[in-house]
Amino acid sequence: MDVVSPELNSLLPDEIMDTEDIEDVPHSQPGTTAVHSEPSDDASVPMETDTPVASENVTLSLATSTTTTKTTDSVTGTSVTTSGLQKLTTPFTISPANRQIILNKVASQASEAAKSAGNPPQVIKQDGQKLLVTAIGKSGQPIVLQLPHTGSKPGISQTAGDTKSQAPQFKVVTIGGRSDLKPVVGNQVTTLQTQQLKTVQIAKKTPASSAAPIKFIITKTVNSKGISAQTSMPPVITGRVLTQSSPVMPPRTITLSEPHNTNLQSIPGKKIAISPLKTPSKVTVVSVASPTSGASQKSVALPVNVALGQQILTVQQSTSVSPVKVATSQSTTQNIKPVAVGGVGGSQFKTIIPLATQPNVQQIQVPGSRFHYVRLVTATTASSTGQPSGPSTSSIQTAKPMVVSTAAVRMSVPVVPAQTMKQVAPKPLTSGPQVVTTTQTQQRLIMPATPLPQIQPNFTNLPPGTVLTPAPGGGNVGYAVVPAQYVTQIQQPPFVTLASSSSFSASTGIQTQARLPLNGLSAAETTSRPRKPCNCTKSQCLKLYCDCFANGEFCNNCNCNNCFNNLEHETERLKAIKTCLDRNPEAFKPKIGKGKEGESDRRHSKGCNCKRSGCLKNYCECYEAKIMCSSICKCIGCKNFEESPERKTLMHLADAAEVRVQQQTAAKTKLSSQISDLLMRTTPVISSGSGRLPYTFVTKEVLEATCECLLEQAKKAEQTHQPQVEAERMILEEFGHCLMRIISSAGKAKSDCASINC
DNA sequence: GAGTTTGAAACT
DNA sequence: CAGTTTCAAACTC
Ligand SMILES: [Zn+2]
Ligand SMILES: [Zn+2]
Ligand SMILES: [Zn+2]
Ligand SMILES: [Zn+2]
Ligand SMILES: [Zn+2]
Ligand SMILES: [Zn+2]
């Protein structure tokens, strides 16, 4: 795959662009556009059912620099050379046959960094159906996604697992730079059928094909704020979409509108949905033009590749912004809400989000959307592109390479099961110049619909081989890459979210996602905050009883027994996730709405049901989350309300305790500073070598500081109701500590002086 | 650390 | 949907 500059794309003939069965997307008219649905079984679209066609390889490269030049190699595919920055060779490869997407990171830096970090690039299986993304995220660890084999490849058997679902699975992957990525199971993830990928194409000329069983229309309003917007584009984008191939579903049309601020709950999740494209033949890639702020270096360093990766991943490192805030501030796209869902519970619908495209426009800007879309077209002459050195395994692709043209704006929205949309992973937008040709646009990549089993982020938390295993069902999987914008808007540290869903057949819709920090903590906070280890013994950590599982995370450093919440038991885990989602589609959504600081929105989604704790103990989920009980709580004897005297008392006690700790810390700090200060002043005296050290060091200031420490200790003893003996012991102990500090300081001063004198 | 209490999750 | 059981965490001693 090569990187093609947007301009180049625009220049590309449509034939190239739309070669194959990809339906063209009708150039969407600004405003709403109806999407035509296509029959799932449309022959034109190669689905898993299709016989293995000569593999089509798609290589996508994104040139970051505006001046990028593109070269196309008929044999290997196209290679693009960015403006001298880097040459990417098959940065992104998609082979239909293999259904793999491999992203290699351009710069070696990232990989090395990752290694240094202790996380080697992860390679998933080399079955050939893998998606490897490297150089994503801060850690620079590559992420590999594996796509399940599609039926197209006879030779490859589908993985065990959900055999039932032949429907293509869809996964959404969001990769973020955060180190703490966690796989999330999420409701947020939507499943798409890979087949839909075809349909995903942005508008094609034929407006309506009624045949498609289900149509989705998505209208998205984009908020230009904060993002470099393309002013020219109309704010509203309409997308369309996809049909569900599955026979079961009756045809439907769904219209989705996305107001700026509308958030799906997904927002909290901060995940990005990726639309899976089943057929490799057509891929739409959007590159994110958004420059990364200086903070994210990687993006800078690796213009092209990184950019691609980021976009695809939509990961970016956001520096400090808490996800929540970001999300709110930026309203754009992130959340798409599927309005109507097919009747099937957990049904997966595919949704392609941004669709509007400008005809012929070189830049892919989509109205209202800040993304750049790149369309990938299979090249007739394509040959498999060589894979870069990346760890990635198989890039097997074959035959037709796809060219991605940035110009086309196509959106592919991953179809998401109605319930679960993906959340957009927040990606801070960095203003880095480097990347994209278009400054403001974002790119979106849609991956082939082949089923992805999972993706795992490579963070340390994750198990070593964060490889995604092929989805059990072997169904097709679609990948969607989230537009960078989404990411940027959110500014959160990048996350990776993968979701795989099986086709409507209940097989599975599972995903692994990275999770956003809860409570709006800064990324740093979240990253640093280790999750409390679980102690499960009977649930195998596959029930919501397990906090790790409930949070969509793998167990890591837990004390659980017989744990299945890990990569080694992915199949079981996915099944468990599905079970949970079947039981409660929102099982993995955060219970506390928006953890933002503004507590206005913070309330428990279901409310508690406490009977005996008065909601003033951590047994109560409301109290545990530090929020007040609300009208939706069904608690009895609740004392967790604003005016509650008990609550106030408790809070005061807690505050007092906190103050005490602070005072104690302050006293110690003061003592230390006094001592050091004293040292500074007395050094000359010491150097004189007199034997008056005690008097020299035990000054008035030191005495005062010491007394403060002792008083604090006394208070502490009193507060904890220690018996007098114990209180005395504590005080004496503290006095001992103070003396030790004084002595050590004196000794140090003396030795220093000695050394100086010498 | 063992044992108890608690309320969500799971199950019927 | 309600009642019961199961479960792991919170809490107590
Ligand atoms: Zn557990
Ligand atoms: Zn655990
Ligand atoms: Zn576990
Ligand atoms: Zn409560
Ligand atoms: Zn409550
Ligand atoms: Zn309450």
Strand B bases near protein CB (under 7 Å) are: 5-11
Q: Which segments of A13-148 are extended strands (E)?
A: 56-62, 69-73, 77-81, 87-88, 92-95, 100-103, 130-133, 143-146
Task: Tell me the pLDDT tens digit for each residue of A324-356.
Answer: 333 333 333 333 333 333 333 333 333 333 333
> Is strand C in 7 Å reach of the CB of A532?
yes
Task: Tell me the pLDDT tens digit for each residue of A291-317.
Answer: 333 333 333 333 233 333 333 333 333
Tell which phi-psi region holds residue A468, choosing left (phi > 0), alpha (psi between -120 and 50) or beta.
beta
Strand A446-449 versus strand A276-278 pairing type: parallel
Please tell me the predicted confidence (pLDDT) of residue A490: 32
Note the CA–C1' distance, A696 to B11, in angstroms: 74
The DSSP symbol for A598 reads S
Task: Tell me the pLDDT tens digit for each residue of A602-631.
Answer: 777 889 999 999 999 999 999 999 999 999
Cα separation of A523 and A505, whole Å?
38
Cα separation of A122 and A485, whole Å?
26
What spacing in Å lies between the alpha carbon of A610 and ligand 6's midpoint?
6
Going by C-alpha positions, the residue among A123, A125, A129 that lies closest to residue A153 is: A129
Residue A223 in tokens: 């908020």
Note the CA–C1' distance, A583 to B11, in angstroms: 12
Cα separation of A494 and A496, whole Å?
7
- Tell me the average pLDDT across A405-413: 33
Please tell me the predicted confidence (pLDDT) of residue A457: 35
Going by C-alpha positions, the residue among A579, A595, A598, A589 that lies closest to residue A515 is: A589
Cα separation of A590 and A596, whole Å?
12
Counting beta carbons within 10 angstroms of the beta carbon of residue A454, is it exposed (0 to 12), middle (13 to 18) or buried (19 or more)?
Answer: buried
What spacing in Å lies between the alpha carbon of A527 and ligand 2's midpoint?
17
Going by C-alpha positions, the residue among A272, A567, A300 that lies closest to residue A447 is: A272
Which runs of consecutive H residues, i.e. helices, occur in A375-460? none
The DSSP symbol for A308 reads H
- Tell me the average pLDDT across A696-722: 79
More confident residue, A179 or A414: A179
Please tell me the predicted confidence (pLDDT) of residue A592: 76
Please tell me the predicted confidence (pLDDT) of residue A281: 32
Cα separation of A144 and A130, whole Å?
7
Residues sharing a CB contact under 8 Å with residue A270, sequence separation 6 or more, in sequence order: A174, A323, A327, A423, A424, A425, A426, A490, A492, A495, A515, A516
Mean predicted lDDT score pLDDT of chain A: 50
Ligand number nearest to the C-alpha of A535: 1
Note the CA–C1' distance, A547 to C3, in angstroms: 25
Please tell me the predicted confidence (pLDDT) of residue A682: 62
Counting beta carbons within 10 angstroms of the beta carbon of residue A86, is it exposed (0 to 12), middle (13 to 18) or buried (19 or more)?
Answer: buried
Nearest nucleotide to A561 (CA to C1') is: C8
Please tell me the predicted confidence (pLDDT) of residue A582: 92
Strand partners, A401: A57
Examine the pLDDT at A713 and tell me if it is beyond 60.
Answer: yes
- Tell me the average pLDDT across A9-19: 37
Q: Chain A, 582-641: which CBs lie within 7 Å of strand C?
A: 617-619, 624
The residue type of A617 is: K
Going by C-alpha positions, the residue among A514, A497, A416 that lies closest to residue A460 is: A514
Please tell me the predicted confidence (pLDDT) of residue A754: 62
Assign A686 a pLDDT band (cuts: 50, 70, 90). low
Q: What is the pTM of this model?
A: 0.38
Examine the pLDDT at A724 and tell me if it is beyond 70.
Answer: yes
Cα separation of A164 and A44, whole Å?
25
Residue A499 in tokens: 């979701």
The most confident of A166-170, A475-479, A726-730, by mean pLDDT: A726-730
- Tell me the average pLDDT across A547-568: 94
DSSP string, A649-713: HHHHHHHHHHHHHHHHHHHHHHHHHHHHHHHHHHHHHHHTT-S-HHHHHS-HHHHHHHHHHHHHH
The SS3 assignment for A719 reads helix
Assign A657 a pLDDT band (cuts: 50, 70, 90). confident
What spacing in Å lies between the alpha carbon of A588 and ligand 4's midpoint?
20
Cα separation of A506 and A472, whole Å?
12
